[in-house]
Amino acid sequence: MLTPVVDQRWLKEHRREVVLADVRWYSDGRSGREAYEAGHLPGAIFIDLDTQLAGDASAHAGRHPLPEPERFARSMAESGIADGDTVVAYDDAGGVMAARLVWMLRASGHDAALLDGGVSSYEGELERGRVVRDPATFTARPWPIERLASVEEASDRDNLVFDARDRSRYRGEANPLDPRSGHIPGARSLPCRENLTAGGTLMAGDQLRQRFLDAGIEDAGDVIVYCGSGVTACHDLLAIEHVGLGRGRLFVGSWSQYANDPARPAATGDEPG
């Protein structure tokens, strides 16, 4: 299987062999599609996180639950992504949004990777408007239970659980997205955006690997990662796999599911609690 992250040089050498997907999304209400249409990598299609990479939001399931496999397959097929295609996805946020598509494809057995640096590191001329591919055949596959964690498992202090949100949200500072602030008691802070350099590319491999080792990750088979709604946590999971520490599990409902249950305790501050 393709490595979880590829760089611009790799893309240039393999451009004709991949489907490029633009997965820009903003929590402040801006339109990812409008940003895509204003300028995207040549040939890239647009994938909408809310409608194509998530099911119906609810207090029970969270803001971005996984769509049913049939719904995801239909969406990919309509976008022109076929069973045998290799997908390279990007955004303008260091890959923390596009990671959701890459994780979903890889978890269901498809070749996919993040484009390091995304649109911000692309040196060529951007293309405007929309790209439409012919419909394809994409087979529905069940989401693998070995790649997923439940709210009970994420709450179990015997598990190694990490929170991929920014540290301010982990500490319990103002959080307009969810009914409560804080983090799951016992979870450690591992902000996905701290996997990146100031220029928006991944840290060097040896530094990134040491970051995870310092966090206590030696074998990701023991790791569960969550975030606000199961999107940016995928960046941590892909980065951990990229540096050779294995494949962890995603708590998809994440804090948006956990915080909606008032019976579950919340921790605040810098410590796991």
**What is the C-alpha separation between 37 and 141, in angstroms, rounded?**
31
Q: Is-catalytic flag, 227?
A: yes
Residue 98, H or E segment: none
Look up tokens 């602030």; give the residue.
181
Q: Which of 204, 229, 5 lies closest to 118 in space, CA to CA?
A: 5
DSSP string, 183-218: B-TTPEE--GGGGB-TTSSBPPHHHHHHHHHHTT-S
Contact between 25 and 91 under an 8 Å Cβ cutoff? The reply is yes
Own/partner long-range contacts of 125-128 (Cβ < 8 Å, ≥24 apart): 125/42, 126/39, 126/40, 126/41, 126/42, 127/39, 127/40, 127/41, 127/42, 127/43, 127/44, 128/37, 128/38, 128/39, 128/40
Which residues have a Cβ under 8 Å from the Cβ of 69 and sit 6 or more positions away?
108, 140, 141, 142, 143
Active-site hit among 81, 98, 227, 239: 227
For residue 14 the two structure tokens come to 């393999």
Pairing of the two strands 86-90 and 45-46? unpaired
Which residue numbers are catalytic?
227
